[in-house]
Amino acid sequence: QVTLIESGTGVVQAGGSTSLSCTSSVPINTMWCVGWFRRRAGPEREFVAAIRRAGDTGFYTDSVKGRFTVSAAGATVYLQMNNLKPEDTAVYYCAADVVYTNDSPREARAYDSWGQGIQVTVSS
C-alpha cells in the first residue's frame, strides 16, 4: 500500500479552473494505474479520470472529457479541471492500483490505496 496526499484549491466559480495534485510515496510508474474519483451525493465514488504511466494520455468519464486533463510526472498525478460546472462539486479522491487485478481501472474496486479526499466546490 502507498500513501497518497491530495492538494489543491477547494472553491471555484462556475466556468473557472483549478488543479488538484496527488503526491504518492512511490513513483507513479511503479503502479499499474492512478485514478481520480469523486463522491457527490451518496456513498458511491464515481470514476473521473486515470492514467497508467507518467507521460501517457489519460482516459476519462464522458462528463469531463474535453474539460479535465490528467497527467503525471515522478511521484505526482495532476488533475487540471477547466470550465467547471456546479455539478462538478464533490469530494475528489486520488487512488492507486498497486497490485494488479482484472478489474477495470474505471471501477473503484480496482484500486487498493486511496487518498483522504479533497472538497471541490463550484459556485454558480
Q: Measured at the alpha carbon of residue 57, what is the angle toward residues 32 and 118, in degrees to the nearest 5? A: 70
pLDDT at 6: 96
The per-residue pLDDT for 99 is 85
> pLDDT band at 95, cuts 50/70/90?
very high
pLDDT digits (tens, 9 = 90+) for 17-74: 999 999 999 999 999 999 999 999 888 999 999 999 888 889 999 999 999 999 999 9
d(C-alpha 34, C-alpha 24), whole Å: 10
Task: Please return the burial class of 123, using the count of CB atoms within 10 Å of its CB with bins 0-12, 13-18 and 19+.
Answer: exposed
Coil, helix or strand for 39?
A: strand
Q: Is the pLDDT of residue 10 over 90?
A: no
